[in-house]
A and B are shown apart, each in its own frame.
Chain A
Amino acid sequence: MDFTALPPIANFALLLGALLLWLFVPLIPAMMELIRPRDAAPLNAVGNDAGRLTFFADSFTQRATQEGLLGTMVPPRLSDGTMVRSHSKGNPIATSRKPISDVVVVMDTEPLPENTVLESECLARLTIRGSAGVTYRALLGQRDVLLGRNSTILRWVHARGILEAEEGTRLLGRATADRSIMLATNVSFDRLEAAVIRVSGQEPFETPVMPTGAYMRFVPEQAVSMGPSYWRVTGDLVIPAGAALVGSVIATGSIIVREGARVTGSMKAHREIRIQAGTVVVGSCAARGRIAIESGSRVSGPIISEEAIVIESAIVGAAGKMTTVTAPIVRLMPGATVYGAIMAADNGLTVTSS
């Protein structure tokens, strides 16, 4: 087409029309979405599972009750068509290399065959003592749950009583218990919650908690006051052995709390915190770097690190005063005891030495 033959006004109109058409292209889906909205609902802002580790276990309990899995006669299938398989001394599941996709109800204490893989939920109506190498997608124990060596939990496990994990167990996702969680060494985990969580192999050494007056009073020198009993220290801070710091302190370097000291307040370090043997901290610890809690120490408040936390044979929290230990990497040594929750965003592991 010879545009030169057209009058200038027509050329201008053509150019304008083409431009408007070009501009209108991205508006087509926008107009469609405006006229017939397909995604105009508010975002799901408040996830029901947020902050409650037992959410899935509670949901499954509710479903199991509704479907009659806790009754005397276990139905052969659920209302959505999922098959249900029972396992008991009289009717055991045979050893199979194939994964089991049915929901499994363990009727008594008969262990599942070794290396069984359960792709769906498993409900243990009595105390379950798992065999070695069993993989569970999700496991709900109505009483105690004892996971055999090298077992794997893919999503969640909840025990109404005690949860025990033997060596080599992998607890991916959520592991919770109404009473306690006992971990052997070389157990990996993501998120744990129970009244008490303990690593077996050593009894924790409990430091006697003495009143503040029994210690030598310590006030950080060259600290900037940020309020009553609130200090900011540039660089490292060392709290001497046997001394007591009353108040909260922030250090732009590392904080070392020497043997037998006491801190009544919270601590924050831009680098590392090291709480040496026999120390008592009545407050929280937060650090951008590593936090190490040595044997015989006791920390009452949350322990928060942006890097890693190592807990030796020490006590965090107290009975009736639960708390949280949270870091990308968490290492627990024999005797480590935490009342409350342990959250390892990247990697949690029980080890014999740091």
Chain B
Amino acid sequence: MTIIMAANIGLWFCILVLAIYTLRHYFFTLNRLFGRHRQPFVDVIQADWPPLVVFVPAHNESRVVRDSLDALLTCDYPEDRLTIVPIDDRSVDDTRAILVEYAENYPGRVRPFLRDDGIPGKAAALADAMAEHGGEIALVFDADYIPGVRLLKQLVAPFFDPEVGAVMGRVVPLNVGLSLLTRLLDLERAGGYQVDQQARMNLRLVPQYGGTVGGVRRAALAQVGGWNVDSLAEDTDLTMRLVINGWDVVYQNRSECYEEVPETWESRIRQIKRWAKGHNQALRRYVGALIRNRRDLPFVQVLDGVLLLGVFVVPLVLLLGWVCTVTLFYAGYPPSWGRVTILAISSFNTVGNFAAFFQVAAASRLDGSRERIRMLPFLFLGFLVSTLSVGRATMSRASWLRGQPMQWQKTERHRATRPTRTP
């Protein structure tokens, strides 16, 4: 009977949590479809632009880093105010030689930071590099990102608001048409940025600094204690610390930058596992602080912050819900309040499961994509893989609960390995 009661309670808990996230998805989507688009900084086109340092952390990125540096060098940011700092973090391929070559070709503009020891990982590399380079504003791009000509100014513009601690731009997949996976990731990214992030910006909630295509104010970073070098998701970690300390995080939907999404399922699973572990690490660290600071922050920000931190626990909750349901079914004990339960479960199955699909469909419409929306049914596959991967990452040694140090795993690049098409 104890198991049955636990399964009953577990099921109700799962339904409640999933219902909250479902409502959140719908609310965000409806906001994007019918609400006012808030982008107060997008029109800042003329200004006395502040000194800017762009950091490009790279670990074995020889296949992609040239494209990124070339794109940064053609940006229209005033040359005398811009320093590009590619960071080589113990690469064993040609990354270091490429960075040195760029430094020789663009003296003063490209200043590589070469790293052979210290704590591994992006956050630690950024912390070391930033200690050596000044500049009021620091932007960070991953080595596979290809910014447009005007992107740097667009990302710096929000910092004219002194309350802004960090800025995030939109990530747009470049290698969309290569496989089913890349097409699904393209849809997921559209939903995540065009709807989710922008809705949070519109509603003054907690847009997330994503660690790339974005930047941070050095004063804000210093005030919150710098980069957490043991963090697997330094972006979520920093977002939460900034919000807790009263800084704004701004999302700019028009500040778009191309990236290379994973092209193999193995790579994708590794990526999502890393995100899940890092995110859950941030959950453990900051959910308490966020709730304790609820008097200094608007209630909606605290609520959204907690939900944002818990987003990678949701697949685990979903799995738990399935387990509880199956247990109750095969134990021959219909859940108490049977009809209500059936209604709740069926409501979730008919409405809840489609919340994310609605979000992606709305994003495709807002992007003006007419045909790619037809791929929507395949998202079931992507969600299933994500759910299992996140569940496994969250369960694995429960490392996020024990706070064990974790290793940073980079996403595999494919750009240069792609076979060239012959006419």
Contacts and interface: CB of A to CB of B under 8 A. Distances in A.
Contacts of A314: none
B176 A41 contact: yes
A29 B151 contact: no
Nearest to B371: A39
Given A30-B374, A268-B161, A345-B43, A45 B223 contact: no
B38 interface: yes
Interface stretch (A80-88, A155-163, A317-325): A317-325
21 contacts: A27-B377, A30-B375, A30-B376, A32-B374, A38-B371, A42-B173, A42-B174, A43-B369, A45-B172, A51-B153, A52-B45, A193-B45, A193-B46, A227-B219, A267-B162, A286-B162, A304-B41, A304-B44, A306-B38, A324-B46, A340-B46
B78 to A, nearest CB: 12
Contacts of B38: 306
A266 interface: yes
Contact of A323 (B46, B219, B256): B46
A289 B246 CA distance: 19
A255 to B, nearest CB: 11
A186 interface: no
Nearest to A25: B377
Contacts of A26: 376-377
A301 interface: yes
A12 B122 CA distance: 55
Interface string B187-229: 0001000000000000000000000000000011011000000
B160 A301 contact: yes
Interface in B18-59: 38, 40-41, 43-48
A286 B375 CA distance: 42
Interface in A141-189: none
Contacts of A52: 45, 150
A230 B161 CA distance: 12
Interface in B155-190: 157, 160-163, 170, 172-177, 180, 183, 190
A250 interface: yes
Contacts of A267: 162
Interface in A228-272: 228, 230, 232, 248-250, 265-268
A131 interface: no
A264 to B, nearest CB: 13
A33 B375 contact: yes
B44 A40 contact: no
Contacts of A266: 160-162
B280 interface: no
Interface string B366-399: 0101111011111000000000000000000000
A322 B45 CA distance: 9
B294 interface: no
A343 to B, nearest CB: 4
B126 to A, nearest CB: 19
B45 A51 contact: yes
B258 interface: yes
B223 A227 contact: yes
Contacts, number: 146
Given A193-B45, A227-B223, A30 B377 contact: yes
The interface centre, meaning the residue of A43, A191, A301, A302 with most chain B CB atoms within 10 A of its CB, is A43
Contacts of A230: 162, 219, 223
What is the predominant secondary structure among interface residues of chain B facing chain A? mixed
B62 interface: no
**3 nearest CB pairs, A to B:** A46-B148, A39-B371, A40-B177
Contacts of B276: none
Central interface residue in B44, B174, B219, by most chain A CB within 10 Å: B44
A306 B372 contact: no
Given A30-B376, A45-B256, A46-B151, A39 B172 contact: no
A285 to B, nearest CB: 9
B149 interface: yes
B309 interface: no
A50 B254 contact: yes
A39 B149 contact: no
**Considering residues A27, A267, A304, A321, which has the most beta carbons from chain B within 10 angstroms of its beta carbon?**
A304
B282 interface: no
B257 A326 contact: no
Contacts of B160: 266, 284, 286, 301-302, 304
Contacts of A301: 47-48, 160
A266 B159 CA distance: 10
Contacts of A341: 43, 45-46
Interface of A: 26-27, 29-30, 32-34, 37-43, 45-46, 50-53, 191, 193, 224, 226-228, 230, 232, 248-250, 265-268, 284, 286, 300-302, 304-306, 317, 321-324, 326, 340-341, 343, 345
Contacts of B222: 227
Contacts of A249: 162
A267 B170 CA distance: 27
Nearest to A269: B163
Given A34-B180, A40-B177, A50-B150, A226 B219 contact: yes
B95 interface: no
A42 B176 contact: yes
A346 B354 CA distance: 35
B178 to A, nearest CB: 9
A322 to B, nearest CB: 4
Contacts of B239: none
Nearest to B165: A226
Contact of A40 (B161, B176, B258): B176
Contacts of A45: 148, 170, 172, 256-258
Contact of A30 (B170, B220, B378): B378
A274 to B, nearest CB: 17
Contacts of B48: 300-301, 321, 323
Contacts of B374: 29-30, 32-33
B154 interface: yes
A268 B376 CA distance: 43
A193 B175 CA distance: 37
Given A27-B377, A39-B369, A193-B46, A304 B180 contact: no
Contacts of B180: 34
Given A45-B172, A226-B220, A227-B219, 7 more contacts: A33-B372, A42-B173, A46-B151, A250-B163, A266-B160, A284-B162, A286-B162
A226 B154 contact: no
A103 B18 CA distance: 59
Contact of B223 (A226, A250, A304, A305): A226
- Which of B254, B374, B375 has the most chain A CB atoms closer than 10 A to its own CB? B374
Given A226-B219, A302-B160, A324 B370 contact: no
Interface in B334-373: 367, 369-372
B68 to A, nearest CB: 14
A41 B256 contact: no
Contacts of B370: 39
